[in-house]
Amino acid sequence: MTYFLVSVAVNSAMDIAAKIEGGGVPLDAAAISALVSKASQKNERSTDVATVILIALWAIGIVDSYREGRARDKAKKLEKDQATGRTPSG
């Protein structure tokens, strides 16, 4: 996902730079800004989907690491309780 998002941004930047170097776009901030807006609108749907997927996977990773940490903490507590002869609580 990250590779896709970066490659879309780099490809758009390279296309804009080529148009500027070729003389198709004047060296004017407003013209370049309009070209950037047009390029971002063209790729908006695919990058929006990729961004949502990336955020969802990131959130799943956070939840999974929390779950795994709790399981390891419980296992350590159980191991410690068994070593000291205590009965497990909670």
Total count of domains within the chain: 1
Q: For the whole model, what pTM was predicted?
A: 0.57
Q: Is 89 a domain residue?
A: no
Give 84's pLDDT tier (boundaries 50, 70, 90).
confident
Per the domain annotation, does 69 fall within a domain? yes
**Cα separations (Å) of 76 from 42, 68, 80?**
53, 12, 6
Q: How far apart are the first and last CA of the chain?
A: 41
Residue 90 lies in a domain: no
Q: Is residue 43 part of a domain?
A: yes
In a domain, 59, yes or no: yes
Containing structural domain, residue 49: 2-84
**What would the pLDDT profile of 15-29 be if each residue is shown by its tens digit?**
888 988 888 888 888
The predicted model gives 52-78 an average pLDDT of 94
What length does the chain have?
A: 90
Of 78 and 62, the structure prediction assigns the larger pLDDT to 62
Between 17 and 1, the higher pLDDT residue: 17
Residue 58 falls inside a structural domain: yes
- Is residue 70, in this structure, part of any structural domain at all? yes
Cα of 57 vs its chain's centroid, Å: 8
27 in any annotated domain:
yes
